Amino acid sequence: MKMRLQKFLAASGVASRRHCEKLIAEGRAAVNGEVVTEPGISVDPERDTVTLDSQPLGYRLEMVYLMLNKPEGYVTTMSEQFGRPCVAELVPPGTRVVPVGRLDYDSSGLLLLTNDGDIIYKLTHPRYGVEKTYAAAVRGVPEEAALEKLRRGVLLDGRVTAPARVGLKKTRAGGPEVPAQAEIIITIHEGRNRQVRRMCEAIGHPVRALKRVAIGELKLGDLRKGEYRILSKNEIEYLNYLKNVL
């Protein structure tokens, strides 16, 4: 069964398929001892020897799907050169998975990790527009007009954000020393850098805490912060459905 080299690398747990294309272009991959710089080349997992940075790779037929409740103070990477805590420390040692997209260092919540390059690609590429839902604790209590601005889109970096679903979940009145606060639920299908935080800043209600609670139909639920679980059969079937229809 032949497949493209970037798909082989992604299925081996190296990185997302898109990032694997960059690794190939940098000349870091070789097939049967020959360096390859074109990602479109086909390889046979049963016959060809594939290496990355001179290290042999094995094609993983068994797919792994994990859901992690990422705590604040962790970077979304499987290795960290600056000594900061990273999400690799929260999953079993030696697990060959990579994060699906990113969560900010200061944000928490639902993070998927897998060795399924196809689903990484489908969930992170902007063209597919998979929805992500966040619970944002913000300073002050936004009025309906401010929430409507979020729904219609706000200007970031010269471009208006795509329409979002936004609802006010709860509020807390302020006092002499404690300002009023609110929690809003916002669903977006873009992936701009720190997008939810910047959208809330744009309406004058900066984020105090941000948690991702859903990706598509996958829900964080009551998974405790810092813990992970294997996706259920129904959740994996949902991901396979996305791979087929997107």
CB 180 within 8 A of CB 141: yes
* Rounded to 5°, angle at Cα 102 from 81 and 226: 80
The identity of residue 105, as a single letter, is Y
Among the listed residues 59, 79, 64, 53, the one whose alpha carbon sits nearest the alpha carbon of residue 12: 59
CB 202 within 8 A of CB 154: yes
Over its C-alpha atoms, the chain yields an Rg (Å, rounded) of 20
Among the listed residues 133, 120, 99, the one whose alpha carbon sits nearest the alpha carbon of residue 211: 133
Among the listed residues 176, 197, 178, the one whose alpha carbon sits nearest the alpha carbon of residue 186: 197
Measured between alpha carbons, how far is 41 from 139 in angstroms, rounded to an integer?
52
3-class DSSP state for residue 171?
strand
Q: Active site residue: 53, 104, 116, 118, which one?
A: 104
Phi and psi at residue 227, to the nearest 5°: -105, 160
The answer to whether residue 104 is catalytic is yes
Structure tokens at 204: 């004058």
Catalytically annotated residues: 104
